[in-house]
Amino acid sequence: MKVLLLFTYNRSLDLWNKIGILNREVALYKRLLKQNINITFLTYGGKSDLQFGSLMNNIRVLPIKDLIKSRNRWIKVLKSLLLAFKLKKEMKEMDIIKTNQLEGSWVGWILKILYRKKLIVRGGFEWLKFYLLNKEDEKKPLIKFWLGYFWRFFIEFISYRLADEIFITNPVDIEFIIKKFKLKNKKDKIHLIYNFIDTDLFKPLNFDKYNKRILFIGRLNPQKNLINLIDAFKYLEGYSLDIIGEGSLKYTLSERARKNGINIEFLGEFPNKLLPELINKYQIFILPSYYEGNPKVLLETMSCGIACIGSDVWGINNIIEHQFNGYLCKTTPESIANAIESVYNDKAMRKKIGKNARQFVITNCSLESISNKEYSIYDKLLSKF
């Protein structure tokens, strides 16, 4: 069985490595190799992507940067449509085409139509829904906003219509695409498959815990509601906040914390494989976002058995069951502060929700469970050939 993974448009192994997620993203496909599946990555990188061959465990890498080279984004997109012809020999060998995200899925359309390949469309997050929820996109000039909307709608509409199977990581997103794209007749083709977590790497470790130090991990952007998170510490005496990640709001957040006398530490970025030891030094992790897809960082922290607080929003409240495997709060500073104090002051609850969080991830998101689900779908697809 030969499977081609189409990287998200403009993403590469080199980029994955630079932002510290290479090992995490490749883990699933290394496991599928053990189930007698030949995996090929089609990446938007250059020859530098080939240097990671030793880490791939016989995953073949096809970097296409030189084939679509252009300074103009739209010319690059048009050139990507021709990859089915430029790589005809390699593409005809494949049995299944799988997209990593919806952006770039148009390459899969061509391969399905030309060579009658089976197409799996994966949405690690729902691209159109994120666009509609992003407050920064709302600030765009009206014509630019609607052009962005129709571009995403068109890509998703065609992708879902052509897909033989659809992988979605969030039950709310499944409801969204069925309604938005009129997919009731494809319900049996839509599968809830959570983001996978290496539960052997992300596990409870016996470290001394910091006192009253709260951990956040993620991009420093408006979606994550970090201004309200910092403001919450005005109500929390003796607490401090440690932030792992980079992003456009770093200076704004730093200045807001300084002016309000809040103890905050920016720790920068860490390779994913180093996070478990760091996570295990904290008693509480918080993700106060306005919306999410299926946040890997939340699942990874839950897998470590840490008590997690999340906002009661899409993408989080379908993972966290309040006071069972986590704690839900509103997105306001007051609610965030109350949640932190409630969890910190109740040792028994912290222990209970940490234990249940770990079990949730093992049951729903472990590499073993996700790879078995994917394999069964691949096998079903080819049995219909």
Tokens of 346: 């109740």
The reply to whether CATH 2.40.420.20 applies to domain 2-196+366-383 is no
Give percent of the chain above pLDDT 90: 90
Average pLDDT of every residue of the chain? 94
Q: What is the pLDDT of residues 321-353, one digit of tens each?
A: 999 999 999 999 999 999 999 999 999 999 999
Which class for 342: exposed (0-12), middle (13-18), buried (19 or more C-beta within 10 A)? Answer: middle
* pLDDT band for position 384 (cuts 50, 70, 90): low
- Residue ranges per structural domain of the chain: 2-196+366-383, 213-365
pLDDT score for 137: 61
SS3 annotation, the chain: CEEEEECCCCCCHHHHHHCCCHHHHHHHHHHHHCCCCEEEEEECCCHHHHHHHHHCCCCEEEECHHHCCCCCHHHHHHHHCCHHHHCHHHHHCCCEEEECCCCCCHHHHHHHHHHCCEEEEEECCCHHHHHHHCHHHHCCCHHHHHHHHHHHHHHHHHHHHHCCEEEECCHHHHHHHHHHCCCHHHHHHEEECCCCECCCCCCCCCCCCCCCEEEEECCCCHHHCHHHHHHHHHHCCCCEEEEECCCCCHHHHHHHHHHCCCCEEEEECCCHHHHHHHHCCCCEEEECCCCCCCCHHHHHHHHCCCEEEEECCCCCCCCCCECCCEEEECCCHHHHHHHHHHHHCCHHHHHHHHHHHHHHHHHHHEHHHHHHHHHHHHHHHHHCC
- The CATH fold assigned to 213-365 is Rossmann fold (3.40.50)
Contact 107, 83 (CB under 8 A): yes
pTM: 0.91
Q: What is the pLDDT of residues 13-30, one digit of tens each?
A: 999 999 989 989 999 999
CA-based angle 195:197:199, to the nearest 5?
A: 155
* pLDDT band for position 98 (cuts 50, 70, 90): very high
pLDDT score for 138: 62
* pLDDT band for position 136 (cuts 50, 70, 90): confident
Q: Is the pLDDT of residue 255 over 70?
A: yes
For residues 71-78, average pLDDT = 92
Report the alpha-carbon distance of residue 385 to residue 379 in Å, rounded: 10
Q: Is the pLDDT of residue 385 over 70?
A: no
Q: What is the pLDDT of residues 177-222, one digit of tens each?
A: 999 999 999 999 999 999 999 999 999 999 999 999 999 999 999 9
Q: How far from chain centre, in Å, is Cα 225?
A: 18
Helix axes 106-115, 142-162, angle to 10 degrees: 30
